[in-house]
């Protein structure tokens, strides 16, 4: 064998040995966070390294919730969130795995290869302050921090926060001043993990309330006495809006970028009422959504109905406190709220009439300006009734089921149980025989019937019903080619999720058409069960309280009707 051949075989042998060494030593690399090793398991997947989604997100400080169709919604930062569909995940050992690069990129982090490991850098949250108010403990962070409750001791409550930098001087926080807390301590561990330990008195339970917005993340621990009587020094302090989470999400649809701003309110029916509100408490006026929320002591609100910009009268159904304020328009969709706070997404059909001694008289309009051959009824919600009427019209005032006045002009004021009927032109023939003392009563009926209906607003179209697409433009009297439908405009959506949470949504940025809106909502993974669109464009707006301030998303146009979340107290 020649020297050259021997050299070739030796080199080949080393090459094979090196290849084998590479094969046996390659594979998933350990993962570190900000330079510290984690215990996250990894697998090899196509295009990179896979990590367990829920465990990894939590270690990085993010929160994962199940989304639609097997996907997951990940929340992080101040208000950020994104959706990971099922086709971007791999199931291993019964757990969803995701490419490390995909997860970290969505968290605005970076990955470095250092000392044989993959080092992830994700911006940690900062604990700004801790406040103890009686038996309420508040931790304020500059952004979201994932947390979990650890196995407590007999009288200890321990909660671990992930990827947090602690402000100095907060290791020992003292006592609860005669309440339910003996002592509170904070301890920092590896991977920027912070443990809150609360030494409790006996017969005590705890409730966690979180609030998330542009100003940061509030973690509130409310301690409750479970024994008989009340412990010395125990007080219940009123808190900020509960179970709120303001988020933004960016989605791409048909090559266009859309930004969704959404407020999620969980378990809302126990603490809040969802109610329509009117500018100046009357039909025919307008105000900004911010002022509507403030004036009604609300904690959040959305714009609602379409409206006539000339008269500021709503177009579509409005029911407030069980009384009709504005009638339906065509077969447009609406959302109703009953006495128990349950929501009904439906397409109402109203029948309005006067019940008289000689039969029923059909009513053309309700709480709107009268036309030349019209029969319109007004109740105390109509703010401009003194502007209606005229010498060629017949005006009846009804109360207690009978006519109490007949004239050519409306009364100067209208009592809460009075209605006014104005008939013009041919409409006068319908009430020609009615005079003072005759039986006449205004009535309205709605199909489908909603038992104990307290409030309702409409606009449309209905987007999602019981988890399925529900858009029917023809039925709701939308013209498929009209700019209202096809234009890329800001949109307002009210939605309910499968777990009963409430979503206030505004789609901004490039805007979106009504026909594409259901697909965009479906791509969010927010588990939307029912959804309705409200007025969009410059009217589209979302307002919510963030501590003592009020935050506004969208336009500041004057609108006549808003849908506002009001504390039950």
When divided into structural domains, the chain yields a total of 4
Residues 140 and 223 in one domain: yes
Average pLDDT over residues 319-343: 95
Residues 227 and 270 in one domain: no
Strands (E), 67-124: 72-76, 80-84, 89-92, 95-99, 110-114, 117-121
- On whether the CB atoms of residues 63 and 73 are closer than 8 A, the answer is no
Q: Residue 24 pLDDT > 80, yes or no?
A: no
pLDDT of residue 239: 39
Q: Residue 5 pLDDT > 90, yes or no?
A: no
Of 86, 106, 121, which one is at a domain's C-terminal end? 121
Percent of the chain at pLDDT exceeding 90: 63
pLDDT of residue 2: 42
- Domain span at residue 378 reads 349-447
Reference 300, options 325, 275, 323; nearest CA is 275
pLDDT of residue 203: 66
- On whether the CB atoms of residues 30 and 120 are closer than 8 A, the answer is no
| pLDDT tens digits, 167-218 | 665 545 555 445 677 788 888 899 999 999 888 776 677 778 788 888 889 8
Highest average pLDDT, of 7-11, 370-374, 514-518, comes from 514-518
pLDDT of residue 410: 84
Sign of the C-alpha dihedral computed for residues 152, 122, 112 and 91 taken in this order: positive
Residues 384 and 428 in one domain: yes
The neighbour count for residue 320, using CB atoms within 10 Å, is 19
- Lowest model confidence (mean pLDDT) among 27-41, 177-191, 281-295, 340-354: 177-191
pLDDT mean across residues, the chain: 86
- Lowest model confidence (mean pLDDT) among 66-70, 263-267, 395-399: 66-70
Q: Residue 328 pLDDT > 90, yes or no?
A: yes
Has residue 22 been placed in a domain?
Answer: no
Has residue 37 been placed in a domain?
Answer: yes
- On whether the CB atoms of residues 114 and 96 are closer than 8 A, the answer is no
Could you tell me how many residues make up the chain? Answer: 569
- On whether the CB atoms of residues 61 and 77 are closer than 8 A, the answer is no
Reference 60, options 161, 149, 148, 163; nearest CA is 163
pLDDT of residue 242: 62
Residue with the larger pLDDT of the pair 422 and 115: 422
Q: Residue 62 pLDDT > 90, yes or no?
A: yes
Has residue 20 been placed in a domain?
Answer: no
Q: For tokens 């605005």, name the residue.
A: 108
Sign of the C-alpha dihedral computed for residues 266, 213, 219 and 111 taken in this order: positive
Reference 282, options 300, 294, 270, 295; nearest CA is 295
pLDDT of residue 157: 84
Q: For tokens 């465990």, name the residue.
A: 55
Distances (CA, A) of 340 to 172, 275, 501: 45, 12, 15
* Distance separating alpha carbons of residues 291 and 552, to the nearest angstrom: 11
* Distance separating alpha carbons of residues 300 and 240, to the nearest angstrom: 12
* Distance separating alpha carbons of residues 249 and 126, to the nearest angstrom: 22
pLDDT of residue 18: 37
Has residue 293 been placed in a domain?
Answer: yes
| pLDDT tens digits, 351-406 | 999 999 999 999 999 999 888 889 999 999 997 777 766 668 899 999 999 999 99
Q: Residue 146 pLDDT > 70, yes or no?
A: yes
Average pLDDT over residues 52-65: 95
Has residue 339 been placed in a domain?
Answer: no
- On whether the CB atoms of residues 241 and 247 are closer than 8 A, the answer is no
The neighbour count for residue 407, using CB atoms within 10 Å, is 14
Residues 431 and 480 in one domain: no
pLDDT of residue 102: 95
Strands of the 318-320 sheet, one edge to the other: 323-326, 318-320, 453-458, 334-338, 343-346
Has residue 335 been placed in a domain?
Answer: no
pLDDT of residue 90: 94
Q: Assess whether the previous peptide bond of 461 is cis (omega < 30° from 0).
A: yes
Residues 152 and 209 in one domain: yes
Reference 74, options 406, 477, 526, 555; nearest CA is 526
pLDDT of residue 563: 98
pLDDT interval class at 535 (50, 70, 90): very high
pLDDT interval class at 12 (50, 70, 90): very low
pLDDT interval class at 421 (50, 70, 90): very high
- On whether the CB atoms of residues 199 and 181 are closer than 8 A, the answer is yes
- On whether the CB atoms of residues 471 and 464 are closer than 8 A, the answer is no
pLDDT of residue 309: 93
- On whether the CB atoms of residues 541 and 261 are closer than 8 A, the answer is no
* Distance separating alpha carbons of residues 459 and 77, to the nearest angstrom: 34
Q: Where are the alpha helices (DSSP H) in 208-306?
A: 289-295
Q: Assess whether the previous peptide bond of 448 is cis (omega < 30° from 0).
A: yes
Residue with the larger pLDDT of the pair 509 and 244: 244
* Distance separating alpha carbons of residues 300 and 503, to the nearest angstrom: 11
Residues 54 and 102 in one domain: yes
| pLDDT tens digits, 472-495 | 999 999 998 898 899 999 999 999
Q: H helices then E strands: how many in the chain? A: 6, 48
User: If you write DSSP's letter for every residue of 372-392 in order, what string do you get?
Assistant: TT-EEEE-TTBTTGGG---TT
Q: Residue 148 pLDDT > 50, yes or no?
A: yes
| pLDDT tens digits, 468-477 | 999 999 999 9
Residues 293 and 306 in one domain: yes
Residues 158 and 188 in one domain: yes
Average pLDDT over residues 13-28: 39
Of 391, 416, 447, which one is at a domain's C-terminal end? 447
Which residues on neighbouring strands pair with residue 378, listed in sequence order?
420
The CATH number for 53's domain is 3.30.457
Has residue 40 been placed in a domain?
Answer: yes
The neighbour count for residue 195, using CB atoms within 10 Å, is 15
Of 80, 99, 121, which one is at a domain's C-terminal end? 121
Rounded to two decimals, what is the model's pTM?
0.75
Q: Residue 230 pLDDT > 50, yes or no?
A: no
- Lowest model confidence (mean pLDDT) among 43-52, 225-234, 252-261, 436-445: 225-234
Residues 471 and 512 in one domain: yes
pLDDT of residue 154: 58
Residues 441 and 482 in one domain: no
Q: For tokens 């791509």, name the residue.
A: 523
pLDDT of residue 23: 32
Has residue 492 been placed in a domain?
Answer: yes
Residues 132 and 231 in one domain: yes
Q: Residue 444 pLDDT > 80, yes or no?
A: yes
Residues 369 and 303 in one domain: no
């Amino acid at each position: 064998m020649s020297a050259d051949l021997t050299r070739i075989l030796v080199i080949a042998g080393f090459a094979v040995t090196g290849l084998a060494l590479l094969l046996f030593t390659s594979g998933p690399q350990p993962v570190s966070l900000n330079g510290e090793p984690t215990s996250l398991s990894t697998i090899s997947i196509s295009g990179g390294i896979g990590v367990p989604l829920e465990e990894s997100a939590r270690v990085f400080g993010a929160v994962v919730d199940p989304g639609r169709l097997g996907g997951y919604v990940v929340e992080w930062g101040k208000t950020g969130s994104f959706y990971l569909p099922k086709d971007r995940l791999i199931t291993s050992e019964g757990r969803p795995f995701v490419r490390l690069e995909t997860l970290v990129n969505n968290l605005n982090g970076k990955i470095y290869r250092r000392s044989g490991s993959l080092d992830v850098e994700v911006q940690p949250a900062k604990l700004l302050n801790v406040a103890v108010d009686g038996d309420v403990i508040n931790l304020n962070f500059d952004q979201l921090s994932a947390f979990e409750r650890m196995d407590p001791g007999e009288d200890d409550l321990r909660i671990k926060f992930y990827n947090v930098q602690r402000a100095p001087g907060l290791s020992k926080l003292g006592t609860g001043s005669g309440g339910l807390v003996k002592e509170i301590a904070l301890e920092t561990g590896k991977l920027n993990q912070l443990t809150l330990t609360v030494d409790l008195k006996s017969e005590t339970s705890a409730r966690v309330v979180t609030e998330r917005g542009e100003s940061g993340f509030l973690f509130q621990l409310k301690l409750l006495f479970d024994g008989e009587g009340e412990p010395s020094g125990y007080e219940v302090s009123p808190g900020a809006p509960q179970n709120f989470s303001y988020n933004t999400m960016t989605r791409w649809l048909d090559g266009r970028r859309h930004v969704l701003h959404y407020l999620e309110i969980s378990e809302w029916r126990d603490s809040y009422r969802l109610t329509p509100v009117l500018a100046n408490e009357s039909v025919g006026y307008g105000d900004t959504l911010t002022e509507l929320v403030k004036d009604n002591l609300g904690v959040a609100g959305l714009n609602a109905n379409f409206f006539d910009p000339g008269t500021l009268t709503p177009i579509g159904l409005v029911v407030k406190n069980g009384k009709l304020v504005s009638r339906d328009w065509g077969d447009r969709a609406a959302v109703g709220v009953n006495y128990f706070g349950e929501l009904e997404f439906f397409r109402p059909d109203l029948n309005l009439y006067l019940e008289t001694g000689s039969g029923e008289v059909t009513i053309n309009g309700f709480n709107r300006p009268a036309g030349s051959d019209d029969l319109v009824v007004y109740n105390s919600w109509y703010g401009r009734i003194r502007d209606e009427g005229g010498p060629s019209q017949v005006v009846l005032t009804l109360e207690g089921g009978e006519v109490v006045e007949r004239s050519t002009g409306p009364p100067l004021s209208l009592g809460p149980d009075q209605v006014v009927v104005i008939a013009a032109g041919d409409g006068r023939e319908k009430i020609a025989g009615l005079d003072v003392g005759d039986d006449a009563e205004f009535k309205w009926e709605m199909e489908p019937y909603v038992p104990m209906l307290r409030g309702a607003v409409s606009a449309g179209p209905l987007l999602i019903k019981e988890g399925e697409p529900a858009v029917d433009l023809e039925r709701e009297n939308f013209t498929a080619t009209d700019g209202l439908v096809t234009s890329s405009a800001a949109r307002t959506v009210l939605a309910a999720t499968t777990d009963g949470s409430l979503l206030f949504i505004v789609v901004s940025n490039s805007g979106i058409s009504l026909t594409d809106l259901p697909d965009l909502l479906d791509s969010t993974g927010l588990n939307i069960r029912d959804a309705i669109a409200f007025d969009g464009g410059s009217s589209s707006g979302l307002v919510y309280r963030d501590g003592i301030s009020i935050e506004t998303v969208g336009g500041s146009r004057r609108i006549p009707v808003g849908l506002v979340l009001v504390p039950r107290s």
